[in-house]
Structure 1
């Protein structure tokens, strides 16, 4: 598979087969991803992989925290800026509506929508989850570099026939995750990534999110 194909066919996979991914393959995947770029070669990321009982423990930890506060724990790094502006807010809302349409869940069925959202915190049934760790002292640039690492993981997974879903929603539980993983005083979880073989028969995996037209997001000068 070439890079162009991997980029084009990658989606946020939200339904997975139960098939386990062997530790040897996960190690090889992470080994390849070490070549992800970073400014000054700082490599500001760390990765925690959970599967089996370790994954179940994270799910079990999250459930009572979210039951006590469905909006998650306080954070100074929210997933989206407050009062997200246009056109970004419309894009965010549109992909959500496309997902619920694929699932056949109407807007008025709030209970079903909330129930589906809860699947985020079960990794959508994926056998493996990766937690991306960054030091809180890092600047905006290093967060960008860590994003390049995340994309590298996703494209390498695509090459292997795996699906991924990048899950910033786990940022709602940063204090609890910090304690669960016994991170250092300055470390934090940025996000998670669900990883596994995609269930290609599930309707949610038919969703192909729209992208803004090129003229809306790019300018070319001097040509």
Structure 2
């Protein structure tokens, strides 16, 4: 057990004694330290790519680990783990031969293994940036809007006339998939964190 966010040495001693009394080893104790916290927002942490001080923060965490954790004890307790062998038999098949993929700060949640499998299966991914007012390539077979934080960029997306027109044109003849944040953008309107409402694509009838 690693004790985390302890308020004092007394807190550490009382907690550690109670846990060890039931036969569980305590291999580390981390005192409460605001400098170790990662910045947060609604629905989770700020993504690594948005965190300018990431490497310095990782250095602080490494220093903390050396100081506060019994790394030798952790290694002694650890046992090798061999993951079950697997393949791509249950992977998400490519939705088309050429996939127009929204890719920028508003749309970041496509899992790398999904894109890797699509490419391995022979599909071509054609990225475009809604925040740069780019439309999906009209020669693609399908358009994919992954998750992300479009509510942080709702005003810019609402003003992206070329993106909006291109999506409407694309939707008239070909399928569009939106998941999580991408699904939000497909709707009529999106309310941002300040409570302001912005018009979205209007391809579906919901508002979020």
TM, length-normalised to structure 2: 0.19
Relative to its length, the structure with more helix (as a share) is 1
- Which structure has the greater CA radius of gyration? 2
